[in-house]
């Protein structure tokens, strides 16, 4: 590949200097921020033999190059006179993309905790209704504190993640949030007591700012603009004390006086807009949301609805949007199960069954990207089935009384101890079953066009690789210890589609990446999240630790090699803190792919569920 020629073609296709706001790269992609994405010649790029794929997501125009992306990037930087900085200021003119990027960055890190708390809250409601626990019992009080604490003090969690997104002091942001939910202020709000700040009236909603969303996000954004001005005005040796003090002195009153009320009004307007549509026709609202939800997820647009769910619960005590989504999610699982029963491909069958199970728990990425979407017809059938189920839920008036990751486990959140909702909960179960069964039966009847090899072909290939090729087979050692997953379950379409090459993924138990073979380090990022190795046999291997972990900027990673180093199989390349990465909201699932797959007869998995580092895990057929 002529990296300079590729760089020129890509630069010209995206619109050149007049259309490029910024350019950075990760392990496989050039990530452009364009002034106008419609000016880019996407079809030309997709037809380029040296471009693997083009992905437009979250305000970024991503051109997937492969393991030599850094060389192409460098050639563009040099020829176009760019600075080569990795600063990714979002100057996109598309406000929707910018908003979605902000919301996803703020909510993603604590989705796990929020989902767990929501499910626990639902099960506690079920326990009260069935008489398993009494509301005044110590056990209930402790468990309810665990379930409700996340939602009561939601502004504190939002402040921390918003501060990271807006690149401002996280602990000052948390201090502002703590002032908003300070018990004495919440009590004043609940009592309806009028208060003022040096004569200026403070407007408090009846519940104060507990469980609120927009006020604290707005406050942290203003803080990110105000704090740098304070730093410029204060001498360096006084900044440690006086910058935090001035920020708190200004931001807390400003939030109570101005930003909080503005955020409350905006939030009420957003919630009111959706509920107006719902009030006009619950059936249509359920049909639209159930049919299009997975499409929204594919394009990242689903994040725009997350604040509405929180705002509904904050304002009304319940949400009607979340229940509509349950049939859409389960319908994808029904379609995947039908694919598993109908296909002759053993690997697709295994993936269909496993992804059906994950969809029951609200995780649809493996189902959509690995099964239904590539086969097209099952995806369409599932969307239609989800819409029918969503319409039933809409008409039935099903409500959710706490937020969480939508799955079968969220059904108890549709139960309220203050209302007789048994009938609506039953309708939610029926609607969800309808979505699942319709998708299952519809996929079985309509079928799908499948190009994967038949079971007989796969068995023949494995036999040949294991028994006949002898010295033509080269085994690679596993660089990680953990659970083995097919690439199709990687939550990134570039890896899961096989566009980068064949291989497997590992969900690691131990944060240590070792060399899978003797060879030379051809690529290693300063952040430590991705390593490229060319073995002495000419196998080019890319090991990408986690998804989007480049955003951590090296936090939690330590590298032990550099580009050009020669290593032996088993040498430690990178260590990484699994807990720190997960706490930051990122997956540690690590795809390991042979990027020059086309130079070999095949790359075969060895059919393992668990693996230990240095154990054979891939067979290269020459």
Q: For residues 78 and 70, give the distance between their C-alpha atoms in angstroms, rounded to a whole number.
A: 12
> Are 205 and 189 in contact, with CB atoms under 8 Å apart?
yes
Spatial contact of 312 and 321, defined as CB atoms under 8 Å apart? yes
For residue 416, the SS3 value is: coil
As a whole number of angstroms, the distance between CA 533 and CA 566 comes to 9
DSSP symbols for 264-330 = HHHHHHHHHHHHHHHHH-HHHHHHHHHHHHHHHHHTTGGGGGHHHHHHHHHHHS-BSHHHHHHHHHH
Do residues 291 and 327 lie in contact, with contact meaning Cβ atoms separated by under 8 Å? Answer: no
CB atoms within 10 A of CB 35: 14
Pairing of strands 590-594, 610-611: unpaired
CB 146 within 8 A of CB 345: no
Neighbours of 553 (CB within 10 A): 13
SS (H, E, C) 501-554: CEEEEEEECCCEEECCCCEEEEEECCCCCEEEEEECCCCEEEEECCCCHHHHCC
The answer to whether 559 and 524 are in contact (CB under 8 A) is yes
Task: Give the CA angle between residues 372, 377, 382 to the nearest 5°.
Answer: 65
- If one counts every other C-beta atom within 10 angstroms of the C-beta of residue 463, the result is 10
Helix axes 111-129, 138-152, angle to 10 degrees: 140
Question: Cβ–Cβ contacts within 10 Å for residue 441, how many?
Answer: 15
Q: Which tokens is 116 given?
A: 């767990």
Residues with catalytic roles: 26
Question: Six-digit token pair at 140?
Answer: 């209930």
DSSP element (H, E) containing 566: strand 566-567
Sheet architecture: strand order including 610-611 = 566-567, 519-524, 530-535, 540-544, 590-594, 502-508, 482-486, 610-611
Beta bridge partners of 56: 61
Rounded to the nearest 5°, which phi and psi values hold at 52? Answer: -80, -45
Distance between CA atoms of residues 467 and 349, nearest Å: 25
Q: Which of 533, 548, 553, 555 is nearest to 618 (CA)?
A: 533
Query: Could you tell me how many residues make up the chain?
Result: 622
């Amino acid at each position: 590949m002529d990296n300079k020629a590729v760089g020129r073609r890509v630069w010209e296709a995206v619109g050149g200097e007049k259309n490029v706001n910024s350019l950075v790269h990760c392990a496989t992609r050039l990530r452009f921020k364009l002034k106008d994405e419609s000016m880019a010649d996407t079809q030309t790029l997709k037809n380029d033999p040296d471009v693997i794929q083009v992905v437009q997501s979250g305000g970024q125009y991503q051109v997937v190059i492969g393991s030599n992306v850094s060389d192409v990037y460098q050639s563009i930087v040099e020829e176009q006179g760019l600075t080569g900085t990795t600063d990714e200021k979002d100057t996109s003119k598309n406000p929707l993309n910018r908003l979605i990027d902000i919301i996803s960055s703020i909510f993603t890190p604590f989705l796990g905790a929020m989902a767990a708390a929501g499910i626990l809250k639902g099960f506690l409601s079920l326990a009260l209704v069935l008489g398993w626990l009494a509301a005044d019992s110590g056990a209930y009080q402790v468990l309810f504190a665990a379930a409700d604490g996340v939602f009561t003090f939601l502004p504190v969690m939002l402040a921390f993640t918003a501060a990271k997104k807006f690149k401002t002091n996280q602990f000052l942001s948390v201090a502002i949030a703590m002032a908003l939910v300070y018990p004495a202020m919440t009590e004043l709000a609940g009592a309806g007591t009028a208060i003022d700040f040096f004569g200026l009236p403070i407007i408090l909603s009846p519940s104060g700012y507990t469980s609120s969303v927009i006020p604290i996000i707005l406050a942290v954004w203003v803080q990110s603009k105000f704090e740098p001005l304070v730093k410029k005005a204060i001498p360096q040796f006084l900044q440690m004390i006086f910058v935090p003090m001035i920020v708190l002195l200004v931001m807390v009153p400003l939030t109570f006086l101005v930003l909080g009320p503005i955020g409350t009004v905006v939030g009420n307007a957003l919630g009111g807009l959706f509920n107006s549509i719902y009030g006009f026709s619950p059936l249509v609202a359920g049909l639209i949301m159930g049919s299009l939800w997975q499409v929204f997820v594919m394009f990242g647009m689903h994040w725009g609805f997350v604040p509405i769910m929180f705002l509904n619960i904050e304002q009304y005590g319940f949400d009607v949007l979340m229940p509509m989504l349950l049939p859409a999610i389960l319908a994808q699982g029904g379609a995947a199960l039908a694919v598993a029963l109908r296909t002759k491909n053993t690997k697709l069958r295994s993936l269909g069954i496993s992804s059906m199970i994950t969809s029951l728990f609200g995780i649809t990425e493996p189902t959509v990207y690995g099964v239904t979407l590539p086969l097209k017809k099952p995806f369409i059938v599932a969307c239609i089935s989800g819409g029918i189920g969503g319409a039933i839920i809409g008409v039935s008036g099903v409500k959710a009384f706490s937020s969480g990751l939508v799955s079968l486990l969220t059904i108890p959140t549709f139960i309220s101890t203050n209302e007789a909702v048994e009938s609506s909960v039953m309708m939610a179960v029926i609607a969800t079953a309808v979505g699942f069964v319709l998708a299952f039966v519809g996929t079985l009847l309509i079928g799908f066009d499948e190009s994967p090899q038949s079971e007989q072909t796969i068995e023949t290939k494995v036999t040949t690789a294991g028994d006949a090729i002898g010295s033509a087979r080269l085994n690679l050692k596993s660089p990680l210890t953990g659970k083995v997953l097919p690439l199709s379950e990687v939550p990134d379409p570039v890896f899961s589609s096989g566009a980068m090459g064949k291989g497997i993924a590992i969900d690691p138990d131990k944060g240590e990446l070792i060399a899978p073979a003797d060879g030379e380090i051809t690529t290693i990022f300063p952040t430590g999240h991705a390593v490229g190795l060319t073995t002495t046999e000419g196998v080019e291997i890319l090991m990408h630790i986690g998804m989007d972990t480049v955003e951590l900027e090296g936090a939690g990673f330590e590298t032990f090699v550099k580009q050009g180093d020669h290593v032996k199989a088993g040498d430690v390349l990178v260590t990484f803190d699994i807990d720190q990465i997960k706490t930051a909201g990122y997956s540690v699932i690590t795809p390991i792919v042979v990027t020059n797959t086309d130079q070999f007869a095949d790359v075969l998995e060895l059919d393992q569920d668990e693996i230990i580092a240095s154990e054979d895990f891939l067979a290269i057929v020459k």
